[in-house]
Structure 1
Amino acid sequence: MKIAVYGASGYQGKLVLAELAHRNIDMLLAGRNAKRLREAAATVGTADTLQRVADTDDHDALVAAFRGCDAVINCAGPFTSSGPAVVRAAIAAGCHYVDTAGEQLYTKAVFDTFAGAAERAGVTVIPATNDGCVPGDLVAHLIAERVQPIEEITVSHFVVGGVGFSRGSLRSAVDTMDTIKAGGLSYDDGDWRIGIPARLAAVTLPDAPQPTEMVKCPLSEVVTIPRHVPVRHVESLVDAAVGAQLGTPLTPQIIDSLPEGPAQEDRRTQRFTYLVDAIGHDGRTARGTVRGHDTYGSTAVIAVEAARRLVADGAEPGVLAPAQAYDPTSFLAFLAPHGISWTISVSAARRTDPAGNAQENRRLRPT
């Protein structure tokens, strides 16, 4: 098994390299700059590993870089502008593909653009194999097995601790600022739409005395969950403090002056909680809770395992959501030793929203 890492010299890319090395998986480093690739390989102790230079505007070079590999992990953002070229090249080279993207419209574009090509090539493409989308998508599928049919799902992200964003994440935020300010897509009545106001302004964390103020945020779970869960409405929220950080205007010069990414000690003290709240047609509610630490380190673990499983176990060809490619319980169990836990609770028919407010039952309208 050989896995290529594109964007290997970036902050997230080096964490992925370290995870591959830790698991003794053969790798290939690919990126735009030969000097930076050599430095990245030396940093993670893989100086003798094969390295290939290819830019995203050179399709033939990208395809040649991936030849002989079984899968590609793309860590090179902003994905909205550069990601499609890497997906296209991976498919042309006959490689399975995953990426660490957190850009919602890019995730949807991968489904819309590459499904047919991936099927014809016999490869599987899974965008957004990151700390939030994979566990959230898998937990949503498990909730749907317990509560059917589901009327609406709200995905909420909470991150606390001293960790900032990497330069790559900030560049992605700048590249998609209009989408962030608009709140991104919601899934509503059978299609994805932008500009739909959030149904909730606050969400109560488990055991929290008071609700937390929330804002709409373009998370990829809105794109993936409706592909395997019959549901009428899906939206995604983030706590208002993180939303304010994402919406802060930054120039390229300011980003370049910042550290490459959070220090290891800061990552160690960070904590995240991701909630998947579902309301069933029969009035029952369900909550999936995912907890962990170190978003960037967790993303490296998840992306490597996502690519490894595609090579070792296979999946249907095409562009898939995580729960369409992997057994949810098995993948989530794999994450437990890496500090990621999950629970699902299902209520009786008395219905409350994620903010803890009682609601009247509403019938599911046909789509």
Structure 2
Amino acid sequence: MKFAIHGASGFTGRLAVAEARRRGFTPVLVGRSEERLRSIAADGEAVRVAGLDEPGALAAAFEDCAVVVNCAGPFTALGEPVIRAAIAAGAHYLDTTGEQHYIRSVLDGLGEDAARAGVSVVPAMADDGGPGDMIAHLVAERVGPEVAEVVVADLRGRGVASRGTARSMAAVFEQGPLAYTDGRWHPAEETSGSIAVPGEEGAVPVAVFALPGVVTIPRHVAARRVRSVIRTEAAAMFSALTPDVVDSVPEIPDEEGRRASRWLMLAEASGEDGKRVRGWVAGPDPYGLTAVIAVEGARRLAVDGAAAGALTPAQAFDPASFLDHLTDHGVTWQVTPA
């Protein structure tokens, strides 16, 4: 199977290339710098150079690929030209963004073009957006048809971050978080609270934050309200990401620290009748798992296909099957009564 990895020489792109090779797939390395791409290319791997301001060249780079995996952020600034080039080339597309407003713009604005081309466009296939959307779908199913509220929470502890993540999260924080109420998205209110974390004693304080689930979950769960939170300490860290701070973050995080980091996405749904169900997905090495998630998503789009148009992760892939696949990589998941 041949698929393109755009941004292949970046930090996340290199991990995706390595995962594609491990799976026995043929990655086509695409980006702006031939020198950087050739420095990571293995024998027999195609290197294709195209800038975001060259739509024809970018589409040509994707022409014989079943899927385009975009790892080059921040996606708010850099993502749309890659999607449009993939659609023009007749290739499915997915990316590793966690940028809430960008994800909404893709799902709202590019679905018709993708459907006309007969391809699937799936943003948010990273460790937060993919598992968060999927576990929320499974939780809501257990509640029943009348879902009053879904809360999705990123409850990972301290860990390492790349400069690209810091840059993206600074943009996310600046744009402000959304919430969803009665059929519309709106700016979220600054509220606080606490959530019990699986594997930890007691509850931890949480704050509102712009997670992907707020703009993905309402597209497949008929909930009156959807909101998202993270640990308060993490929200404070993101609020401190000035341009100078972002520039000081290493482009490539310490590998030992990366592998020791853990992530945890939790979803809790409540029904109009008071029934409550919660579920969670947790695993090691958030960047390494993002590569696993993206490459497995690409495989499924190429082999199994999905509906044409712009889709959330839970719409594109069977949630339980996908989460089960991740258990081979140290991921655990569970859905239980709250």
Per the alignment, residue 204 of structure 1 pairs with: 196
Q: Which residues in structure 2 correspond to 1:176-191 (within 5 Å)?
A: 176-179=172-175, 182=176, 184-191=177-184
Per the alignment, residue 157 of structure 1 pairs with: 154
Displacement of 1:256: 4.2
Displacement of 1:40: 2.8
Contact 1:155/1:237, CA 8 A, preserved across alignment: yes
* Cα distance in 2 between the residues matched to 1:187 and 1:178: 19
TM-score, structure 2 normalization: 0.96
Contact 1:125/1:320, CA 8 A, preserved across alignment: yes
Residues 1:309 and 2:306 are matched in the alignment? no
Q: Which residues in structure 2 correspond to 1:160-309 (within 5 Å)?
A: 160-161=157-158, 163-179=159-175, 182=176, 184-198=177-191, 200-251=192-243, 254-309=245-300
Contact 1:155/1:235, CA 8 A, preserved across alignment: yes
Displacement of 1:144: 2.2
- Partner-residue secondary structure (3-state), 1:159: coil
1:345 counterpart letter in structure 2: T
Out of 34, 48, 51, which is 2:47 matched to? 51
* Cα distance in 2 between the residues matched to 1:11 and 1:59: 24
Contact 2:188/2:208, CA 8 A, preserved across alignment: no
Q: Equivalent pairs: percent with the same residue?
A: 45
Aligned residues: 337
* Cα distance in 1 between the residues matched to 2:160 and 2:317: 31
Closer/same/farther in 2, CA of residues 86 and 139 from structure 1, 3 Å limit: same
Displacement of 1:207: 5.0
Closer/same/farther in 2, CA of residues 142 and 176 from structure 1, 3 Å limit: closer
* Cα distance in 2 between the residues matched to 1:298 and 1:315: 22
Residues 254-299 of structure 1, C-alpha deviations (whole Å, 9 max, x = no match):
5444422222211221122211011111111111011111111110
* Cα distance in 2 between the residues matched to 1:241 and 1:329: 31
Q: CA RMSD in A?
A: 1.5
Per the alignment, residue 108 of structure 1 pairs with: 104
Moved more, 237-246 or 94-103: 237-246
2:265 counterpart letter in structure 1: Y
Structure 2 gaps, min length 5: none
Closer/same/farther in 2, CA of residues 85 and 129 from structure 1, 3 Å limit: same
Contact 2:140/2:277, CA 8 A, preserved across alignment: no
Displacement of 1:331: 0.8
Contact 1:38/1:47, CA 8 A, preserved across alignment: no
Per the alignment, residue 34 of structure 2 pairs with: 34
Residues 1:146 and 2:142 are matched in the alignment? yes
Displacement of 1:94: 0.3
Structure 1 gaps, min length 5: 348-367
- Partner-residue secondary structure (3-state), 2:302: helix
Displacement of 1:57: 1.5
Displacement of 1:196: 2.9
- Partner-residue secondary structure (3-state), 1:160: coil
